[in-house]
Amino acid sequence: MDLPIEFFSEDIEFTLQNQDQISEWIATIVEQHDHDLVNLTYIFCSDDYLHEINVEYLFHDTLTDIITFNNADEDGTVEGDIFISIDRVRDNSTSLGTNFEDELHRVIIHGVLHLLGFKDKTKEEETLMRKEEDSSLSLRKF
């Protein structure tokens, strides 16, 4: 199945393993939420690269593991660019005592969930986001 999902890296040497399986998993999550997958681009990068984006576009002078830009023109569609700091994911997996791949997959699907309309600014939203992440992670078949 040829899905409209692409994976790139910027300012870091990184290649995502299991790209086809991850793409199918993402498509399944999008479909389960009754949305159409139009186009999704992941850019894996360094802390410095993502920090520059955070300052320039969001005016936040902080490190983060992910920034999601929603490019959808209409409701019910998923189209966006998701920037993920591999440095942050690696540090977070170490500090949380989790497997790097599991933490990376959590962040990958976190961006998709934002594009599906989930938020994480309040405690209630954050709790629901984490529940959706866990549910999505349980559907991995790789």
Known binding residues: 110, 114, 120
Annotated binding-site members for Zn(2+): 110, 114, 120
128 CB-near residues (< 8 Å, 6+ apart) = 118
**Residue 43, CB-side half-sphere exposure with 13 Å CA sphere:** 15
Which is it for strands 36-45 and 5-10: parallel, antiparallel or unpaired? parallel
Contact 93, 102 (CB under 8 A): yes
For 138, the token pair is 């349980």
